[in-house]
A and B are shown apart, each in its own frame.
Chain A
Amino acid sequence: MSFVNVFLLGMLIVCALAVSLTRNLLTSLIVYMAYSLIMAVIWMFLESPDLAITEAAVGAGITSILFFVTLKKIHAIKGDSEREPTQK
């Protein structure tokens, strides 16, 4: 049980707690992306490279992109939404 393994498992719990305790919605999404990435590294420690590749591509990639697009659709991202439409 190496030190890196124990440390990464501890970081998993920290990320899972941080998702619920932040106020901003965008912050909890980015923490969820980090959680998915740490999970992909832990799959490698458990000697399953198939799961690591699939979790990295699908969890930290596609699911997080879908969450971001949903946030944009519900206008929860504060940004320059009052800008003039630029010309093509």
Chain B
Amino acid sequence: MPWSLLYENLEQTVAVILFGIGFSILLLQRNLIRKIIGLNIMDTAVYLFLASMGYISGRKAPIVVDGVTEVTAYINPIPAGLVLTGIVVSVSFTAIMLALTVRLYRRYHTLDIDEIAMLARGEDA
């Protein structure tokens, strides 16, 4: 692939790389807390990708100053609204997962996902 194009859209490239890194953390780490951090990294990478679609070079943030309401003075405001909703949903999701982690620890006294799966399977016998 042409490397200069990847350097032009640098934010999107970095967002894609972060998505891959977060996915690998989610798969490879055995500690539950690190898996949750990996999921959060994937979330913020997607928000970075989305918000970089709204940027137009040379224009300012979408807050009206001096009554200027031309289109050529402000960036695209729609992706910012979408990402705003996403950030708050992400934090509530993290809170639920951490509550589940606390309950799992109280029950099995370990944070390793392999041990929890084996102990749970051993109990069902």
Binding site for B on A (CB under 8 A): 1, 5-6, 9, 12-13, 16-17, 19-20, 25, 28-29, 32, 35-36, 39, 42-43, 46-51, 54-55, 58-59, 62-63, 66-67, 70-71, 73-74, 76
Query: Is B94 engaged at the interface, CB distance under 8 Å to the other chain?
Result: yes
Residue of B nearest to A5 (CB): B10
* B72 adjacent to chain A (CB < 8 Å): no
Chain A hits for B25, CB < 8 A? 16, 19-20
B45 to chain A, nearest CB (A): 8
- In the complex, how many angstroms separate the beta carbon of A33 from the nearest chain B beta carbon? 10
| B98–A54 touching, CB < 8 Å | no
Query: Given that A9-B14, A20-B34, A49-B61 are known contacts, is A54 also in contact with B84, CB under 8 Å in the complex?
Result: yes
Give the A-B contact count at a CB cut-off of 8 A. 111
CB-defined contacts of A58 to chain B, threshold 8 Å: 87-88, 91
Chain B at the A interface: SS class: helix
> Which residue in A5, A25, A32, A43 is a CB contact (below 8 Å) of B31?
A25
Interface size on B, residues (CB 8 A): 45
Taking Cβ atoms with an 8 Å cutoff, the residues of B that contact A are: 7, 10-11, 14, 17-18, 21-22, 24-25, 28-29, 31, 33-34, 36-38, 40-41, 44, 47-48, 51-52, 54-55, 59-61, 63, 75, 80, 83-84, 87-88, 91, 94-95, 98, 101-102, 105, 111
